[in-house]
């Protein structure tokens, strides 16, 4: 309680995100020589090495529970790896040194380096079910949209909640053959689409942030990406709903054996049980969320975003790094 104003406030505490951003900056910078060179694994390997080294300087006990590369056998910070100094808070950590390795290799936009962190044991364990159906919106979607409803109904309901015409609504979807009918249904409902080549984490965050052109992000994407998105949305007040979608009978049986209800709709507090979350991302290539790495004379410029669940803050960090220090 402030004696002058009589208002309540929280005592400022350590913002772990301000330390983690050094790891995503390093990963993004190290990936730059591989942009447009056609070798996504070389880009990923350089980013992984840089991220691992910088994470080692952070005073926390980080346990990698979502390790980059598991789906496609790329270089990885592996599940079960401990990162950080080993001292300080015990945390779950999800890493993706490059979200969008194919984008990086092709020189396309929207590649990111990112990290999500929550209290130890807070992140959902999908038991190796790598894909899920998802819907993500801003705060207006609470009590309004439902993953079980047809997409047209959700678009119309969210448009009403946002006081927008349906024709002004924009829905982000991964550009995949599996989404052909979904894309058609969105357009038949009267809304526009933003087709993403990769990176539905950024699509989900843009759907939840104020002042962007994206109103909703939907479709089938990675379960790890859904959990990472949930960490980010804790700071934005946004909505995410998901449902596990096994890709074959073996994966389905493993999920059932692990006790998962495959009909259950998972909400944000199912995906991340704690509000003490951080999401940190640095642009590798230019995108809607952040700009990519750029070199200006002797300096390397990076742009990052830091979302903190406990305080509900969004910070943008623009840094200039002396290029000769990165040789």
Here the CATH number for the domain that contains residue 179 is: 3.40.190.90
Distance of CA 82 to the CA centre of its chain: 21
3-state helix, strand, coil in the chain (%, to 5): 30, 25, 40
Domain ranges, residue 259: 131-271
Residues 210 and 157 in one domain: yes
Residues 115 and 179 in one domain: no
- Range scoring the smallest mean pLDDT among 5-14, 54-63, 77-86, 97-106: 5-14
Bridge-based pairing of strands 90-99 and 61-66 is: parallel
Report the binding-site residues.
Answer: 44, 68, 96, 99-101, 131, 176-178, 198-200, 222, 225
Report the binding-site residues for substrate.
Answer: 99-101, 131, 176-178, 198-200, 222
CATH of the domain at 320: 3.30.540.10
Asked if the model's pLDDT at residue 80 lies above 90, the reply is no
Mean residue pLDDT of the chain comes to 91
Residues 137 and 265 in one domain: yes
Residues 155 and 42 in one domain: no
CA distance 53 to 89: 19
pLDDT-based confidence at residue 34 (cuts at 50, 70, 90): very high
User: Structurally, how many domains does the chain consist of?
Assistant: 2
Residues 152 and 257 in one domain: yes
- Tell me the C-alpha to C-alpha distance, in Å, between residue 125 and each of 65, 128, 129, 223: 8, 8, 9, 10
Asked if the model's pLDDT at residue 127 lies above 80, the reply is no
Single pTM value for the model: 0.91
240-274 confidence digits (pLDDT tens): 999 999 999 999 999 999 899 999 999 999 999 99
37-53 confidence digits (pLDDT tens): 999 999 999 999 999 99
Q: Largest Cα–Cα distance of the chain, in whole Å? A: 64
pLDDT-based confidence at residue 126 (cuts at 50, 70, 90): confident
Residue 2 lies in a domain: no
Residues 85 and 29 in one domain: yes
Best CA proximity match to 155, nearest among 114, 168, 210, 316? 168
Asked if the model's pLDDT at residue 326 lies above 90, the reply is no
Best CA proximity match to 35, nearest among 99, 103, 108, 107? 107
Report the binding-site residues for Mn(2+).
Answer: 44, 68, 96, 99, 225
Q: What is the per-residue pLDDT for 78?
A: 79
Residue 11 lies in a domain: no
User: Helices (H), strands (E): how many in the chain?
Assistant: 9, 13
Mean pLDDT of 107-128: 92
Q: What is the per-residue pLDDT for 200?
A: 87
Asked if the model's pLDDT at residue 307 lies above 70, the reply is yes
């Amino acid at each position: 309680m402030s004696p002058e104003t009589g208002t309540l406030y929280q005592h400022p505490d350590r913002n772990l995100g301000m330390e983690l951003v050094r790891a995503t900056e390093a990963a993004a910078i190290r990936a730059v020589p591989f942009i447009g060179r056609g070798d996504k694994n070389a880009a990923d390997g350089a980013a992984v090495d840089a991220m691992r080294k910088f994470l080692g300087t952070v005073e926390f006990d980080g346990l990698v529970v979502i390790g980059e590369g598991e789906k496609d056998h790329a270089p990885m910070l592996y599940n079960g790896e401990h990162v950080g100094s080993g001292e300080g808070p015990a945390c779950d950590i999800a890493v993706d040194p490059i979200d969008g390795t194919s984008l990086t290799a092709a020189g396309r936009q929207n590649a990111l380096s990112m990290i999500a962190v929550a209290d130890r044991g807070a992140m959902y364990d999908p038991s190796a079910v790598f894909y899920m159906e998802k819907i993500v919106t801003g705060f207006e979607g609470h009590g309004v949209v439902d993953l079980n409803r047809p997409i047209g109904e959700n678009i119309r309901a969210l448009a009403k909640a946002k006081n927008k015409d349906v024709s002004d609504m924009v829905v982000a979807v991964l550009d995949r053959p599996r989404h052909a009918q979904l894309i058609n249904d969105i357009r038949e409902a009267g809304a526009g689409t933003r087709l993403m080549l990769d990176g539905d984490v950024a699509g989900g965050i843009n759907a939840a942030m104020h002042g962007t052109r994206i109103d909703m992000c939907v479709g089938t994407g990675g379960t790890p990406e859904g959990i990472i998105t949930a960490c980010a949305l804790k700071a934005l007040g946004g909505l995410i709903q998901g449902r596990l979608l096994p890709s074959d009978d073996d994966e389905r049986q493993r999920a059932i054996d692990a006790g998962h209800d495959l009909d259950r709709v998972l909400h944000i507090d199912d995906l991340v049980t704690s509000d003490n979350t951080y999401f940190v991302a640095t642009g590798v290539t230019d995108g809607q969320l952040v700009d990519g790495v750029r070199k200006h004379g002797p300096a390397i410029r990076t742009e990052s975003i830091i979302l903190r669940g406990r305080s509900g803050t969004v910070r943008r960090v623009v840094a200039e790094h002396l290029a000769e220090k990165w040789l």
